[in-house]
Amino acid sequence: MPSTNAPKGFKWSPLTDLARLESGHTPSRNHPEYWGGSIPWIGIKDARANDGQRIEETNETTNDHGIQNSSARILPENTVCLSRTASVGYVVVMGRPMATSQDFVNWVCSKELDHNFLKYLFVAEGEDLLRFASGSVHQTIYFPEAKAFHICHPPLAKQQRIVRILDEAFTGIANAKANAEKNLQNARALFESHLQSVFTQRGPGWVEKRFDEVCAITSTLVDPRKKEFLDLTHVGAGNIESKTGVFVDLKTAREEGLISGKFLFDESMVLYSKIRPYLMKVARPDFQGLCSADMYPLAPNPKVVTRDYLFHLLLSKHFTDYAIQGSARAGMPKVNREHLFEFRVWLPDVKRQKQLAANLDTLHEKTQRLAQLYARKLAALEALKKALLHRAFSGQL
């Protein structure tokens, strides 16, 4: 599969010469009695959650009735399962006898093929497995293509040596990733804790205000097709990162071909996405532009609140919990104006707000720098995994 030239000590073989191909099946959903039992049943969700891993437990189980009354079958421990449709390329290894849905091609390895070697080979292929897939709506690897798989492999002893090296290396990489992610979570938790403390405290001179005393929506909807608006930058909810206020992939009204009404905003305002408030999409623009009608361009009352303090307030758990509480809808969760402006908040004087917002900005910037650092580290670890897999299957380990 990786190339036509076999490295020294490797040879090409049809995979069906080294492993038995088994299909999966789903017991009828019209028979609840087929579901629930002691037989784990692997679906795409399980493969997505355990990609590249050994799987012991599954989201759903079947039973003897489900197996006996369908084409599903119980496959032995160490069967290598490759998702072949919906999401092609997820790989799991059965940690005990299990069944799978029809979304998998399953390989029961012979004594000549180490199951973990085959697992790593599929992992190394990754998105390249799509070259075996077809279909205009859903890409699918059909069974004739799976039966035609060839693999390049060394003798069993060398397969097992490669597996030991990759197991050790991947365990180290997984630990490094876990530490990086934990450190990032700790940094974010520290910022969110500090943010929470700011907006739950009350000090001398603090006053309670309704939100309509704090800020207002002064903008009106305009036609983005008009000449004076065509080259203004457009901001939608998708252009704001959750929790950070960072803008991404901004384009002008002309570039997006906008036709529906949009709000004008300027550098004095805070943009708040009223759709799905749990996403916490809030931003401080340093430019004039247009925003989606699904966003509120909030103009702070300068006698009551600073823009920076308002920005952080809208990101606080205190406000977000309130927004979520009032956004329950049958369709899309949305914060309406009436609920928004009924929010009540305790505020210090403007001078103290500036100090608190400056401290939050400093801590936020440090958190963002850490996030970027850890993102680069995680990307480097992923690159290392790919490099190790390339070396393994090109005969360099």
pLDDT at 127: 86
Kindly report the backbone phi and psi dihedral angles of residue 215, in degrees, each rounded to the nearest multiple of 5, phi listed first. Answer: -155, 170
pLDDT on residue 138: 81
The number of CA neighbours under 13 Å toward the Cβ of 220 is 2
Q: Percentage of the chain with pLDDT > 90?
A: 73
Read off the pLDDT of each residue in 245-261 and give the average, rounded to a whole number. Answer: 94
353 pLDDT above the threshold of 60 = yes
Question: What are the boundaries of each domain within the chain?
Answer: 11-153, 155-194+350-397, 207-347
User: CA torsion, points 304, 306, 307, 308, in degrees to nearest 10?
Assistant: -140
Name the architecture of domain 11-153. Alpha-Beta Complex (3.90)
Q: What is the pLDDT of residues 203-227, one digit of tens each?
A: 888 999 999 999 999 998 999 999 9
Stretch 141-146: mean pLDDT, rounded?
Answer: 93
Query: What pLDDT is stored for residue 2 in this prediction?
Result: 43
The predicted-structure confidence for 47-88, as pLDDT tens digits, reads as follows 999 999 999 999 999 999 999 999 999 999 999 999 998 789
- 10 falls in which pLDDT band (50, 70, 90)? very high
Measured CA to CA, the distance from residue 259 to residue 261 in angstroms comes to 7
Half-sphere exposure of 320 (CA within 13 A, CB side): 18
CATH architecture of 207-347: Alpha-Beta Complex (3.90)
User: Which whole-number Å values give the CA distances from 17 to 83, 147, 252, 315, in the listed order?
Assistant: 21, 10, 58, 59
pLDDT at 329 over 70: no
Whether 11-153 and 207-347 share one fold: the answer is yes
Find the range with the poorest average confidence among 53-67, 149-163, 168-182, 256-270. 168-182
Q: What value does the mean pLDDT take over residues 329-358? A: 89
Spatial separation of the C-alpha atoms in residues 60 and 66, rounded to whole Å: 12
Nearest to 246 by CA among 202, 200, 283, 291: 283
User: How many CA atoms are closer than 13 Å to the CA of 194, on its beta-carbon side?
Assistant: 16
CA distance 99 to 275: 41
